[in-house]
Chain A
Amino acid sequence: MERVIAARGKIAWSAVGWLVVFIFFFPVLWMWLESLKTEPQAASTPPTILFIPTLSEFQEVLSGDFPPFFINSAIASGFSTLLVLVLGLPAAYALSVRPVKRSRDVLFFFISTRFLPFAASLVPLYLLARDLQLLDNIIALVLIYTTINLPLGVWLLRSFLLEIPPDLFEAARVDGAGFFNEIWRVVVPLIMPGIAATSLICVIFSWNEFFYAVNFTSSVAATAPLFLVSFISGRGLFYAKLAAAATLASLPVLMAGWIAQRQLIRGLTMGAVK
């Protein structure tokens, strides 16, 4: 009898859960459905539910002017993530394995810069970029995204380094490995999961970033979210194309986040929650 009640409860709660999940997932599903329609189907009233899917809008977007935006996004997120790892890993090492004095203060400093609003440094950075001819240059975005993500990277990598038994580093040092050797041959292989988590978070934040992208670039260095801005005045004419572009622009982060779900939570809390 009790088991019957438990089973009923499980079915009822599952139904509630699936309903909520459906509501939250629906806009994503709808985006996918719209992207597979023709333009008249995508803007029809009542909405088209049954239709023969077509990839023509994806073809249109990919053969049009979208690829350069996508490539700029890849360059900005790729290179800034690489810089975060190159600068962040030694710093994390100096804050955990062989800690500097007052390392807690340094950690505090790093993370406080992450939560400084962009209002704090926006105007001077803009003027500097203008004077250095870096407006509408992808280098400016790479450097800014590195700044945004480096504090997160340092915290995250440190939280992974702290989990490695100190003996392993001692052994490497006794073997006479130099610092770079130690980092490259001992530290990097040991914290591959940490590097993966850091890269994931860096890519999510830089790929989706919009504020600096829209204000520091215009055409040459414009990234994927800026391509979507051109749809902003949509009057029901380009819904399918918009949905296809939105799907493509969201795809890399969605896939990376889904594959690395475990890393995601740890990264978002800077290593505090595992």
Chain B
Amino acid sequence: MTDASVARRDAWVRRLPLLPAFIYVFLVTQIPFVLTIYYSLFSWNLLEPGSFRFAGLSNYAELVTDESIRIAVWNTVLLTLAVISISVVIGLGVAMLLNSEVFGKGLMRTLMIAPFLIMPTAGALIWKDTLLNPLFGLLPYLLSPFGLGRVDWVNQFPMVSVVTVEVWRWTPFMMLIILAGLQSQNPEVLEAARVDGANAFQAFRRITLPLVRPFIELGALLGSLFVVQTYDSIFMLTYGGPGQDTTNIPFLLYLVAFQGFSIGQASAIGVVAVIITTVVATFALRTLFSIFQIEARR
């Protein structure tokens, strides 16, 4: 055997264990995506047999002129920004508390992660029916002394309700990631800063924050990739309404594909969603790699 053929054989021996997973993922994700692009060029409604015909870019043209996609994009951006920023701030606060000298840290952490583990559909229903319901819910009852006893939160403030439930769910996620960052900090550095006369705020800004910043970024970016896809809580709480007030891109896609059965239109939405997500994901992956490097240096 020549050296070249030995090397080639070795390369294949190395590649073989990878192939089943690689081929599987390729088949189930890449080919459908190509088909999605293909379908997006056709006008096709599953409820109208024989409606399959080439439509060029008209599905996209419709997306540009149609108001519903613009509202959905706006709702998606609003929901994601609100949920991520609020849950990062609260998550950072809780993580710092859990990293300091407090009583019952272990139990606090355990209870705190529960909202993330509860089935999202179950959590959303509990919020909607037993906490926010204007007639039987606990919150209107507790707020009635303040004149807010008859507020129908889900209908009057639909986006606020969805954001609340999602913040409740994602704060523990942020807290866990930021806490891991805080725990990688050398406590002696903070101690030294104290001795040098830095106050708590200065120490936080100059030492703690730069250290946990990559962890905050990682949490925010990974979190936003999930929150962009929010569907469960919208389905359960508001069903996208009232009107279109809480319809985000995934929910619009659901309405177009599974309520309207417009395959071409749904595919065009899919392509747009991929473009938006790719932008966010590129940043997320860059952050992920930089954290891997930080961890490797430790």
**Which A residues fall within an 8 A CB radius of B?**
6, 10-11, 13-14, 16-18, 20-21, 24-25, 27-28, 30-31, 34, 42-47, 87-88, 90-91, 93-95, 98-101, 106, 108-113, 115-128, 143-144, 146-147, 150-151, 154, 179, 204, 207-208, 210-211, 214-215, 224-225, 228-229, 231-232, 234, 236, 239, 242-243, 245-247, 249-250, 253-254, 257-258, 261, 264-265, 268-270, 272-274
Q: Is the pair B93, A119 in contact by a Cβ cutoff of 8 Å?
A: no
Q: How many Å lie between the Cα of A147 and that of B120 in the bound state?
A: 21
Q: Which of A45, A123, A207 contacts B36 (CB 8 A)?
A: A123
* Min CB–CB distance B196 → chain A (angstroms): 18
Q: How many Å lie between the Cα of A87 and that of B19 in the bound state?
A: 9
Q: Is the pair A204, B29 in contact by a Cβ cutoff of 8 Å?
A: no
Q: B168: which A residues are within 8 A, CB to CB?
A: 24, 27
Q: Is the pair A122, B114 in contact by a Cβ cutoff of 8 Å?
A: no
Given A18-B103, A250-B122, A265-B177, 20 more A-B residue pairs with CB atoms under 8 Å apart are: A13-B97, A28-B115, A28-B118, A94-B14, A94-B18, A100-B11, A111-B288, A112-B281, A116-B29, A117-B250, A119-B266, A121-B28, A215-B258, A231-B129, A236-B129, A239-B136, A247-B122, A250-B117, A272-B291, A274-B180
Q: How many Å lie between the Cα of A273 and that of B293 in the bound state?
A: 11
Q: Is the pair B36, A272 in contact by a Cβ cutoff of 8 Å?
A: no
Q: B295: which A residues are within 8 A, CB to CB?
A: 272-274
Q: How many Å lie between the Cα of A87 and that of B24 in the bound state?
A: 9
Number of A-B contacts defined by CB within 8 Å: 303
Q: A215: which B residues are within 8 A, CB to CB?
A: 254, 257-258
Q: A124-B35, A236-B133, A273-B181 are in contact. Are A249 and B28 (CB under 8 A)?
A: no
The 5 closest A-B pairs by CB, nearest first: A90-B17, A121-B32, A246-B122, A91-B21, A94-B18
Q: A16-B97, A257-B117 are in contact. Are A123 and B263 (CB under 8 A)?
A: yes
Tell me the chain B residues, 94-137 only, with Cβ under 8 Å from chain A.
94, 97-98, 100-104, 108-123, 125-131, 133, 135-136
Tell me the chain B residues, 52-108 only, with Cβ under 8 Å from chain A.
90, 93-94, 97-98, 100-104, 108
Q: A124: which B residues are within 8 A, CB to CB?
A: 31-32, 35-36, 39
Q: A117-B274, A123-B39, A273-B215 are in contact. Are A106 and B292 (CB under 8 A)?
A: no
**A100, A215, A265 pick with most chain B CB within 10 angstroms:** A100
Q: B222: which A residues are within 8 A, CB to CB?
A: 268-269
Interface flags for B156-181 (1: CB within 8 Å of A; 0: not) read 00000000000010011100110111
Q: A127: which B residues are within 8 A, CB to CB?
A: 263
Q: Is the pair A122, B177 in contact by a Cβ cutoff of 8 Å?
A: no
* Min CB–CB distance B118 → chain A (angstroms): 5
Q: How many Å lie between the Cα of A44 and that of B231 in the bound state?
A: 31
The main secondary structure of chain A at its interface with chain B is helix
Q: Is the pair A100, B18 in contact by a Cβ cutoff of 8 Å?
A: yes
A-B contact pairs, 14 of them (CB 8 A): A10-B101, A25-B111, A30-B138, A47-B138, A91-B22, A116-B29, A121-B28, A123-B257, A124-B35, A210-B231, A229-B236, A246-B126, A258-B114, A269-B177
Q: A116: which B residues are within 8 A, CB to CB?
A: 29, 33, 274, 277
Q: A91-B21, A272-B291 are in contact. Are A225 and B121 (CB under 8 A)?
A: yes
Q: A14-B102, A239-B130, A268-B176 are in contact. Are A121 and B36 (CB under 8 A)?
A: yes
Q: Is the pair A31, B130 in contact by a Cβ cutoff of 8 Å?
A: yes
The main secondary structure of chain B at its interface with chain A is helix
Q: How many Å lie between the Cα of A78 and that of B234 in the bound state?
A: 27
* Min CB–CB distance A66 → chain B (angstroms): 13
* Min CB–CB distance A212 → chain B (angstroms): 10
Q: A30-B138, A231-B125 are in contact. Are A25 and B114 (CB under 8 A)?
A: yes
Q: Which of A45, A117, A146, A151 contacts B277 (CB 8 A)?
A: A117
Q: Which of A11, A113, A265 contacts B25 (CB 8 A)?
A: A113
Q: Which of B115, B118, B136, B172 contacts A43 (CB 8 A)?
A: B136
* Min CB–CB distance A268 → chain B (angstroms): 7
* Min CB–CB distance B47 → chain A (angstroms): 13
Q: B49: which A residues are within 8 A, CB to CB?
A: none
* Min CB–CB distance B189 → chain A (angstroms): 20
Q: Is the pair B288, A270 in contact by a Cβ cutoff of 8 Å?
A: yes
